[in-house]
Amino acid sequence: MTRKALGRGLSALIPDSIDRGRSASGDYFLCPIEKIKPYKKQPRQYFDDQKLNELVASIKEQGLVQPLVVRAGKNDTFILVVGERRWRAAQKAGLKDVPVVIRNVNEREAFELALVENLHRADLDPIEEALGYARLMDEHEYTQEHLATRIGRDRTTIANTIRLLKLPDRTQQAVRSGAMSPGHARALLALDKAPLIDRAARQVVDRGLSVRQTEAMVKALKRPPSADSTPSSPNVKNLQERLARTLKTRVRLVASDKNRGRIEINYASLDELDRLLEILLK
């Protein structure tokens, strides 16, 4: 039997209103908040304090309008599946009881529901999203195509997001914080080596480079040394010497034909590259 994609119709899990006490089917009611335990494998790891406090203020004024989704735990407790931010805010607001919807789901389904809910609310940073995709693929042997169907996402989007996990930790943190977009980060992946990616990422953030500028920088860094001959014109040699004095490194002007060519700038270390980039990207 084909299972319904979770990426659509999530609202069908949550009724519009809830009364105190169990419903006739026993699946939704007002639950003492101390009986609800957090989901340890929640895909979302970061909760913005300012936004959380705004929700606390709203709950104090209006109450918790949208119920939490839980599953049965041990000893008459419930495990939170969907709505951890609301649960945290309800605790800070001092609520004793909160509306819940009980769903009979297994561990995999619980994680999928939590991931989809966060995706639809745009609550995950790109790295959290990538980790969620990777976990479902690793633990449940999903292909990218299967995962795309299950959560209502395009396969290419999933593939591009998972690629972010190849970034070194420092650059991942820049993506998490929003200092750099996933587009910038994917461009930097072409550099392959972690130290070079981190140095280039710092330049992207410090200089406020666009994605296109980042791609151009990466292309320049990856260009192999030229085997072409350097023109012997005295004017060209003079220009090379002037550039070398300004940049304090070896510079070559390489002709491709009569009217075209390129400038090659040597660097001996990542520190020197950092210095050169600071000059060139002013």
Q: Tell me if 5 is assigned to some domain.
A: no
Q: What is the pLDDT of residue 9?
A: 38
Give 232's pLDDT tier (boundaries 50, 70, 90): low
Domain end call among 107, 127, 143: 107
- Verify that 163 and 77 share a domain, yes or no: no
Residue in the block written with tokens 């949208």: 66
pTM here is 0.56
- Verify that 31 and 76 share a domain, yes or no: yes
CATH of the domain at 181: 1.10.10.2830
Model confidence at 166: pLDDT above 90: yes
Average pLDDT of the residues in 77-82: 87
* Residue 3 backbone dihedrals phi, psi, to 5 degrees: -90, 145
Q: What is the pLDDT of residue 13?
A: 40
- Average pLDDT along the chain: 80
Report whether 270 contacts 201 (CB < 8 A).
Answer: no
Domain total for the chain?
Answer: 3
Domain hosting residue 254, numbered range:
225-280
Residue in the block written with tokens 């990777």: 134
Residue 237 to residue 230: CA distance in whole angstroms: 9
Residues with catalytic function: 84
Give 204's pLDDT tier (boundaries 50, 70, 90): very high
pLDDT tens, 121-162?
656 789 988 988 888 888 778 888 988 887 778 899 999 999
Q: Tell me if 123 is assigned to some domain.
A: yes
